[in-house]
Chain A
């Protein structure tokens, strides 16, 4: 049973090792001649204007909430799709109701303008 997860562990290990080795290689091999200008924070060549650690808009939170809700819907869809043949027509109808209820919410959010970014 557990053997089937070994590729995942190998993947996790390889990813962690790769990240660590790349950062450390850069540290060991790269020349270091720092100056005030080089050490300053930069973003796409723009001068930093103020601290990055400040409050940001609630619009990001909205996106995250919408993402979770439809994420949960998709998670429910998966076991239904796998057992679709055994469930038959009844399973189709019940899942239809489930999606319909969420679709009502989707159109509500749409009409309220929560999907617009302005």
Chain B
């Protein structure tokens, strides 16, 4: 095993291990915090895939933003510490159906993808300029739609704040 392989398994172990804690922990605060390490592990995997910009974005937005939002959401719920989260089995049949469909879709993608192995890691400095060029030419429409979605989120956030003021 070379160095890259060891690093890959390290990040994969971090991701899967903390993902398991997220799912199985009975303390919602522990779940939220171990999600931090899961996101971090995924960022590491992005680095190994030569997607440096994606890795930085993962850290900036998921670890820096969405996780903070999630922890705030946990803190906003009443009696955080005493609450017992049900990790028992409810709604087994619909869950089995959905998980089965998702697994089938993921496996189809996994098997139909042609996994090209690079002989040597290519000498790519950074992916940011290519992403910028594609984003503003080929993928212009999704890019502009993203701004509209962000606008909707802003308006929604303002609505929450206004409701607070009336109460």
Contact = CB atoms under 8 A, between A and B. Distances in A.
B7 interface: yes
Contacts of A75: 57, 60-61
B138 interface: no
Contacts of B133: 83, 86-87
| Contact residues of B: prevailing secondary structure | helix
Interface string A65-92: 1111101110110111111101100110
B12 interface: no
B151 A102 contact: yes
B77 interface: yes
| Contact residues of A: prevailing secondary structure | helix
A65 B69 contact: yes
Interface residues of A, number: 49
Contacts, number: 153
Contacts of A59: 161, 164
Contacts of B99: none
Interface stretch (B89-97, B100-108, B152-160): B152-160
Given A55-B80, A78-B132, A79-B53, 17 more contacts: A1-B123, A61-B76, A65-B69, A67-B68, A68-B61, A69-B157, A72-B61, A82-B126, A86-B129, A87-B137, A90-B137, A91-B136, A94-B144, A97-B144, A105-B150, A106-B154, A109-B154
Interface of A: 1-2, 5, 53, 55-62, 64-69, 71-73, 75-76, 78-84, 86-87, 90-91, 94-95, 97-99, 101-102, 104-106, 108-109, 112-114
